[in-house]
Amino acid sequence: MKQLVTIFALIIFISACTTTQHLQPADADLFLAQQRIPGITMTDLQRGYKMYSLNCSGCHRLHDPVEYTAGQWKPILDKMFVKARLSDDRQKQLISNYLVAKSK
Ligand code: HEC
């Protein structure tokens, strides 16, 4: 019985981890990202994802970047940066670049 509970807990834990895994930047994303944002690096994408997950998951689930086009993200971000009380331009740039790089 104890083992069963452990296995069950493990399954839940693993599935919780994998649900946001596709949001993490992968090497395969870099090519498209650089077409959209010339000069962007893997480090920029990773920092952007980190900033995004830290600042944008407090009120709702993390939205998948592919839910919107780059053009749709812009006005959403103008609104959400205010909600997240983000004022640091570099942080905003990293989040925006990450989302646009992986957008629809
Ligand atoms: C203080 C709470 C809060 C934080 C922090 C927050 N959001 Fe939101 N978000 C909302 C609410 C509330 C809505 C529902 C629509 C609205 O009120 O505009 C929303 C809706 C959205 C939507 C759906 C599109 C829309 O306009 O309805 C997206 C995408 C989104 N947020 C992205 C983000 C991103 C990116 C960040 C980080 C920069 C973020 N949110 C941080 C509260 C928050």
CATH code, 79: 1.10.760
Dihedral sign from CA coordinates of 26, 31, 36, 40 = positive
Q: What is the CB < 6 Å shell around ligand 1?
A: 55-56, 58-60, 63, 76-77, 79-81, 83-84, 86, 95
Task: Let me know if residue 9 belongs to a domain.
Answer: no
Task: Let me know if residue 75 belongs to a domain.
Answer: yes
Nearest Cα residue to atom 12 of ligand 1? 59
Task: Tell me the pLDDT of the chain (104 aa) as tens digits.
Answer: 778 777 667 666 655 655 678 899 999 899 999 999 999 999 999 999 999 999 999 999 999 999 999 999 999 999 999 999 999 999 999 999 999 999 99
Structural domain of 68: 23-101
The per-residue pLDDT for 22 is 85
Task: Let me know if residue 5 belongs to a domain.
Answer: no
Task: Let me know if residue 17 belongs to a domain.
Answer: no
Nearest Cα residue to atom 14 of ligand 1? 60
Task: Let me know if residue 4 belongs to a domain.
Answer: no
Task: Let me know if residue 3 belongs to a domain.
Answer: no
| CA-derived radius of gyration, the chain | 16
Report yes or no: 82 and 18 within 8 Å, Cβ to Cβ.
Answer: no
Number of domains in the chain: 1
The per-residue pLDDT for 65 is 97
Task: Let me know if residue 68 belongs to a domain.
Answer: yes
Nearest ligand 1 atom to alpha carbon 77 = 35
Task: Let me know if residue 12 belongs to a domain.
Answer: no
Place of tokens 């599935």: 15
- Residue 94's contacts (CB-CB under 8 Å, 6 or more residues apart) are 44, 47, 48, 51
